[in-house]
Chains A and B, each alone.
Chain A
Amino acid sequence: MDTTEIIVTLAGLALSGFVIWYFFFSARQTAAAVSTSNGVQQVDITVKGGYSPDVIEVERGKPVQLSFYRDEENSCSEELLMPDFSIRRDLPAFKTTLVELLPQQAGTFTFTCGMGMLRGSLVVK
């Protein structure tokens, strides 16, 4: 094994380690919902290559209104899926789409793009 091979091997392993850490073990952006005067828990979410915030904390039994602003045109994020609430929505580019739901049970519910690549979760307490 020559020096170049050793460098390439080490760099490759380091890069793989970085990919695994970066995508699977890094901290997430959490936000708690803000309750309005009429008892609706509101959260603004920006969709651009992912959801920010991507972990949303809400309270059980109160209506939740999620405003998804899709800040890109790329087709990966054009659909939103919340299978636990039977929700499928098209998110038009550069527009806000509102999604309402009433979480009845506590737990963590995933929401994803149409193909399940972009992911976020709704934590009901």
Chain B
Amino acid sequence: MEQTTKTETLDIEGMTCASCASFVEKSLTRTPGVQRAVVNFATEKATIDYLPTQASPATLKEAVVQAGYGVSERAPDISAADRQAEIDQQKALAYVRLKRRFWVATALAVLIMPLSMLMLWPAMMARINMQTLNYSLLALTLPVLLYSGHEFYTSAWNSFKHRAANMDTLIAVGTGAAFLYSLAATVVPGWFMRWGILPEVYYDTTATIIALILLGKVLELRAKTQTSAAIKALMGLQAKTARVVRPGGQEVDVPIEQVKLGDVVVVRPGEKVATDGLITEGSSAVNEAMLTGESLPVEKKAGDPVFGATLNKTGSFRFRVTKVGADTMLSQIVKLVEDAQGSRAPIQRLADKVSAIFVPTVVVIAILTFVLWFDLAPVESRLPLALVNFVAVLIIACPCALGLATPTAIMVSTGKGAEHGVLIRNAEALEKAHQVNTVLLDKTGTITRGEPTVTDFVPAAGQDASLLLQVVAAVERQSEHPLAEAVVRYADSRQTVVVPASGFQAVEGKGAQAEVNSQPVLIGNLRLLEEAGISLPPAVRQQADDLLAQTKTVLYVAVAGQAAGVIGVADTVRETSAAAIKRLQGMGIEVVMMTGDNPQTAAQVAGQVGITRYFAEVLPGDKASKVTELQAEGRTVAMVGDGINDAPALAQADIGLAMGGGTDVAMEAAGITLMRSDLQGVVTAIDLSRQTIRTIKQNLFFAFIYNTLGIPIAAGLLYPFFGILLSPMLAAGAMALSSVSVLTNSLRLRSFSPIKK
């Protein structure tokens, strides 16, 4: 007896990635009584079908907790959008708090600065008691230290306990030293005087450095949120509800996480497609730009796949759900972009090595700077000079610009790539693509459509073209052969009337025969007709020869024992191929083609798209060796293929670009996946890679030059020659600007648009 299942939806807490979702899903599936569990990472919901006799909502929650996650007890009507809004609100709150701390520090620094400079006006100084002034400055500086800057000190202390050091360590030690010295000079000035030192205070240094560093953090936070905007936008594309057709025919709007495999979903004009599936009835044009970057709507009819998050334009259709949750195309794209953003580019390695030893090294340099200044400077000013330079070294050396240089550029460009239908698997792939100087294209499926298309339909003299097409299509509709499909597509595109055919028979290796309108019809190669004793009139033979000369496949048609016409079939070149190849050549890249076809066909296609070098008659197993051949010539090769049979060649190439065609994302085979079957994607990918690497190099240059020049200047290297010392406040200003300038440089990639000319 079949038991009735119940469905439960749980709000899962703590999931941070798609693999978390599969962890929860696995744990739920293993729970006795659970028949099906689907966890949607984007909406943070689990939908579980279970047998109430064996499981209960409590045991389901238990399973989630066991997997290490929580179940939210909030009212179930809180949507994912609300949840996201809550997280955003928390982040916004943190930003507001940071700004408040910045403004407090700035306001107080503005007061402290002129007060500290009173000594510039001796007349004024004479009227003010030094002690009172110093204590007032101390009172003004304390809130800056304890409120605005407290984070630096706690963070530095926490790191110190871990035997780690970060940028806060430098800020805390620098400002802390300046403050403690000033505090001592304020509280026990007599002690300093006894040593012949003027008890100077550096409260202005402390307060200004904190204000400037906070300014840097405010700007940094604002820019940082923009680097991950692309992925957020992608995740936000998911539809919230789906209109599901119930078995009774009734249409109900259900939350997206309750949609199951096999459900039939209705999509009306102007609606978003809820999830991935196959159209069962109806037709429409669908805008798939968000997934493929293709701005023109794609015509869809029964049997065609549709993808979640795409936008239905004018028509209405129903589709059967084939993928839900993490399996959908959108989720896969999001995951791929996230993974790419988490990966490291090889160019980052040096920065990584430097970062690891940076802070302790700088602390040592600062200490030695202090010692040298103390030992070499005149006795009366040695302590203040040693201190000021010690602080300047610590503050200028902050390594944040170095840490931000590569990741921010990678984050912006991978997001940008996804927007244009170019999915980059990792930062390494992005880096490799810019070195490419040779692009190897597999002809079929990349330059050409990869499927035979009727190019010529030539009826014999006295035949009515539309009638003949009806007859031919009637026979070919019964056949499974790819050439027959091409004929049927051609007939359909001309709205040919469908007529029945009877007695269909496929003739192995030759063609097919059937009866239409009580007349025998033969369609196939020349041998089929010859064996049936049908001779070709000279005109028909001539037309067939012409087609053969153009390296096309010829289908011969005979109706009622008479030759009735010929059909030319060929794999056609995509409209966009020639232009994209020209763009690649314009970028200084040599484009090479390879194909399994004979040299004539290869030459013809190559000529059509402007390629001069090609390999013909390449067996599928030899594709990878052609890549090796080019590499042996010292070239950096990008291989472009359709990702399925080209896998070894894609892997052999320096960078593999798989044309996913929006159907099956062959992500594992290639470093870069092009969502659209269009060579323009290759141009976009290489161009994006070049711009990204240029940005990263600029960033690294700025970050390195700034630290390598900044530290010696701050240490006072120029002082003996030019009398130049770097004020710690200037150092703080430069430091705040450095990371902001690196971020701004990376964000310039947001304006990337592919070369189209």
Contact = CB atoms under 8 A, between A and B. Distances in A.
A66 to B, nearest CB: 10
28 contacts: A8-B371, A8-B375, A16-B367, A20-B360, A42-B68, A48-B162, A49-B155, A49-B157, A49-B158, A49-B166, A67-B68, A76-B167, A81-B344, A85-B342, A86-B342, A89-B16, A92-B90, A96-B14, A98-B14, A99-B16, A100-B17, A112-B352, A113-B166, A115-B403, A116-B351, A116-B352, A117-B166, A118-B164
A19 B351 contact: no
Contacts of B161: 49-50
Interface residues of A, number: 57
B162 A19 contact: no
B367 A19 contact: yes
Interface in B294-339: 338-339
Interface string A6-18: 0011001101100
B457 interface: no
Given A12-B370, A23-B360, A74-B155, 15 more contacts: A9-B375, A49-B157, A49-B164, A50-B158, A50-B162, A67-B68, A83-B342, A87-B339, A88-B341, A92-B90, A98-B15, A115-B403, A117-B159, A118-B162, A119-B356
B335 to A, nearest CB: 10
Interface in B147-179: 151-152, 154-168
A110 B152 CA distance: 25
A53 B340 CA distance: 27
A3 to B, nearest CB: 12
B443 interface: no
A74 B158 contact: yes
B162 A65 contact: no
Nearest to A89: B16
Nearest to B369: A12
Contacts of B360: 19-20, 22-24
B26 to A, nearest CB: 8
A24 B27 CA distance: 42
Contact of A118 (B23, B68, B159): B159
A115 B20 contact: no
B384 interface: no
Central interface residue in B342, B355, B363, B407, by most chain A CB within 10 Å:
B342
B364 interface: yes
A88 B427 CA distance: 13
Given A19-B363, A87-B342, A49 B403 contact: no
Contacts of A74: 151-152, 154-155, 158, 168
A112 B353 CA distance: 12
Contacts of A26: 163
B392 interface: no
A9 B374 CA distance: 8
A5 to B, nearest CB: 5
Contacts of B164: 23, 49-50, 117-119
Contacts of A50: 158-159, 161-164
A5 B364 contact: no
Contacts of B400: 115
A117 B404 contact: no
A105 interface: no
Contacts of B68: 42, 65, 67, 98
Contact of B343 (A42, A86, A100): A86
A9 B375 CA distance: 8
A116 B16 contact: no
Leading 9 A-B pairs by shortest Cβ distance: A49-B158, A50-B162, A115-B403, A88-B342, A83-B344, A12-B371, A116-B355, A74-B155, A49-B159
Contact of B69 (A98, A112, A117): A98
Nearest to A50: B162
